[in-house]
Chain A
Amino acid sequence: MRELINGAQAIVRGAIDSGCTFFAGYPITPATEILLYMIRELPKVGGIAIQGEDEIASMGFCIGAAMTGKRVMTATSGPGISLYSENIGLAIMGEVPMVIVDVQRMGPATGGATTVAQGDIQFLRWGTSGGYPVIVLSPTNVPECYSLTCKAFDLAERFRVPVFLATDKETVLTLATVDENKLVPVEVRERKFASPQNLFIPYQASSPDEVPALSPFGGAHILRFTTSTHDEKGQLTKSPEKVGNLNARLAAKVEAHVDEISMVKADLQPNAETLIISYGVTGRAVEEAIRAMREGGKLLSSLIVYSLWPVPEKAIKDALAGIRRVIVPELNLGQYRIEVERLVGDGVEVTGIQRVDGELISPEEIIQRGGLL
């Protein structure tokens, strides 16, 4: 059996099937539908969904709720991510598991509210002070909105870090036919909870690249949460040794586990010398372009990147074997191309296909501007 749904519905169902019971958000096109579905659906599963007075409050509600042990999500668009920025930093520092959906629209500033774009890719990675890592996943279509939302919850629980779902207006608001067997829940791991019996030290991790166990507010232990540099007990400290260890761990707990996070769709053709690297909605046009070119006898490889951050360097380097030319189509000024460029070897040409006029990059455009004919 099939159904006709958009990405917003898929994200909401993915969240609910992943055990999400708390949502807060502020209306913003094109992310509002997620808020509205959540307001209607979460109370039915014993959860709470609320419209905050602004984006800052919505993030604050989610962070507070997450520390009581709830699985939480919020959704916004680029201008809202700007307002989330400071709290994204707090969530990194306090190690808050949460899922943040960014339905990208045309920027800069208010830009085009109802216009598709992929302009937040570097912003999501570097959007708060300090430069510490987050995880960013990007679905290309409606079924992946479902499965990657589930995966986002899984990774948020595993790493106690904000996990972004980088979507766009086209994927979230366009209705698509979906086969029911494409919407099968992905198992979400439980975050590491502290044993009620043992001594609890809120920010003590088992190794320098690991995640501390949580005892939620209202649980068996007293929890100290802080946005300031802190020792293992959650007490403010300026001790260079303790601060250095904490900050190194906040980076290492994500960066040392890239292999656990890495998700790509590699469609590599033996002897192909051209590789198209894409993500999000643009990946769909790439797949159509590749199908058409292969039917005409051309050799072409494709790598769709689902886990944009941390950059799945190994998967990208593997796909680059034997490749002389890389094409990176994006609905921005070339934000992910920068990451590809630093990974390619000498003599490999990297070509970007950019569009920032609110229109999608079409399969024909990839063929023509990519010089594939």
Chain B
Amino acid sequence: MSAPVYDTYLDESQLPYFFCPGCGHGMITDHINQALVRLQIDPHKVVIVTDIGCSGLVDKYFTTNAFHGLHGRSVTYASGIKLADPELKVIVLMGDGGCGIGGHHLINAARRNIGVTVVVFNNSNYGMTGGQHSVTTPLESITSSTPFGQLEQPMDICQTVAVNGASFVARTTSFDKGLANLLAMAIQNEGFSLVDIWELCTAYYVPNNHFSKSLLENTLSRLNLPTGVIHQQSRPEYCHAYHQTVVKIAIKNPMPPRLMQTRYQSELKKRLGIVIAGAAGKKINSAATLFCRGAVLSGLWATQRNDYPVTVKSGHSVSEVILAPDEIGYTGIAKPELMLLLFKESLPFIQTQLSQLSEADTLIINTNLLPIQTRARVISIDFNQTDRWAAKKEFWVMIALAKALNSMRIYPIEAFKEAVSARSEFAADNLAAIDASG
């Protein structure tokens, strides 16, 4: 075997470590270095992402790239780096504190099986802020924020990511002589890996709990937390899967043609405000868009704003359409010139606009909603007249819009038909509905 190119990944100028005497962080850092030396990865291709806490001090000891981010969010930066450049080896160093505040990100990174390695410096408390309890603090432990004993069950970080799709999960202690080997395996794994390393915080957890190396090992067995490689599964890494599936399917779906040539003539001389008062699930918005596209084909300018409740499939659905011979600025309609009143669900939402209609304006209304008080010219449509349309309520709006074009000088109905034909969805039924308005 040829001599290794990289005999260390530690920056000698930053040594010795700044950690408390007896703290496990230095041991873990040494083992990460040994793992990298074993793997001989170009340091330019390694990004060490650190969290907040004493483990967040570790990146400065490495000659690799480094990203020191916000508390609990290290996995998100690492994921972004990996997604953007899957060639990089991205290693997250975080504490048990980061696993608590950022637990959601750990779970979701595991679900994606994104190719990031997470190394947990797990010393059962928040060392940097004075020894408060963390998600891994064992029951009854004394910490500065549990002076009378911890009541919360410690979280099993390994099982949490394992059941959610991580592809390599291991647990050990900082005293494990095989730690570098375990870390190398984790880094080499294509998908999401996590190594949970239990260690001593000699500043806080050890004195507060009369803790020691042997008690640490006892604690693991008492908590029924096995050590070694505890979970491995083969499943596609996220970035790889994205390029293999999403990209290949996406490129087969080009954007529909958007540009429209003026092919018809409109006689509309001034702005026409139209309110379409429908009901959810009755294709109000999509019909209004086709109506606008017909207007654009006729050289008009159009805007369309929709209003509907958060529950998309029930309640009202109102589309406000403005057509004009010139560019439209303000898109509100205080007083419409044309109203299509099709379903009762929208009545409460258009009362003000309804009351504004004058003698010069038009109201196209479903006969079921008669009688109605209005000054406008009323055109009623009995949708129940023919068996074909009585039950097909989602086409009533097309019939009403065609009625408007047939009874008012807005733009040619042929333009509306062309707009409808250009969108393949429901084109045949839509065209039949337009013809039905006679």
Return the chain A residue nearest B66 by Cβ.
A224
CB distance from A254 to the nearest CB of B (A): 22
Q: Does B5 contact A (CB under 8 A)?
A: no
Q: Are A67 and B247 in contact (CB under 8 A)?
A: no
Q: Are B250 and A44 in contact (CB under 8 A)?
A: yes
Total A-B pairs in contact (CB under 8 Å)? 201
Q: Are B304 and A218 in contact (CB under 8 A)?
A: no
Return the chain B residue nearest A235 by Cβ.
B60
Q: Are B302 and A285 in contact (CB under 8 A)?
A: no
A24 surroundings in chain B (CB, below 8 A): 80
Complex Cα distance, B352 from A359, in Å, reads 13
Q: Are A68 and B329 in contact (CB under 8 A)?
A: no
Complex Cα distance, B85 from A219, in Å, reads 11
Q: Are A44 and B251 in contact (CB under 8 A)?
A: yes
Complex Cα distance, B69 from A61, in Å, reads 12
Q: Please report which residues of chain B, range 358-372, place their CB below 8 angstroms from some CB of chain A when the two chains form the complex.
A: none
Q: Are A217 and B65 in contact (CB under 8 A)?
A: yes
- A3's partner among B70, B246, B259, B330 (CB-CB below 8 A) is B259
CB distance from A172 to the nearest CB of B (A): 11
Q: Please report which residues of chain B, range 290-335, place their CB below 8 angstroms from some CB of chain A when the two chains form the complex.
A: 292-293, 296, 300-308, 310, 327-332, 334
A65 surroundings in chain B (CB, below 8 A): 80-81, 83-84
A312 surroundings in chain B (CB, below 8 A): none
User: With contacts A5-B258, A177-B303 known, is A219 near B79, CB below 8 A?
Assistant: no
Chain B interface residue count, CB cutoff 8 Å, equals 68
Complex Cα distance, B84 from A82, in Å, reads 25
Majority DSSP secondary structure for residues of A touching B: mixed
CB distance from A77 to the nearest CB of B (A): 14
Q: Are A90 and B69 in contact (CB under 8 A)?
A: yes
A225 surroundings in chain B (CB, below 8 A): 65-68
Complex Cα distance, B340 from A128, in Å, reads 47
- B329's partner among A5, A173, A223, A287 (CB-CB below 8 A) is A287
- A60's partner among B44, B73, B258, B331 (CB-CB below 8 A) is B73
A122 surroundings in chain B (CB, below 8 A): none
Complex Cα distance, B188 from A260, in Å, reads 47
Complex Cα distance, B310 from A65, in Å, reads 33
Return the chain A residue nearest B255 by Cβ.
A41
Q: Are B104 and A1 in contact (CB under 8 A)?
A: no
- A364's partner among B78, B79, B300, B334 (CB-CB below 8 A) is B334
CB distance from A200 to the nearest CB of B (A): 11
Q: Does A335 contact B (CB under 8 A)?
A: no
User: With contacts A60-B80, A63-B77, A219-B44 known, is A174 near B303, CB below 8 A?
Assistant: yes
* Supplied contacts A86-B70, A217-B67, A220-B44, 14 more A-B pairs, CB within 8 Å: A4-B260, A4-B292, A44-B251, A44-B254, A57-B105, A60-B76, A63-B69, A65-B80, A67-B67, A114-B310, A174-B305, A175-B302, A175-B305, A177-B292
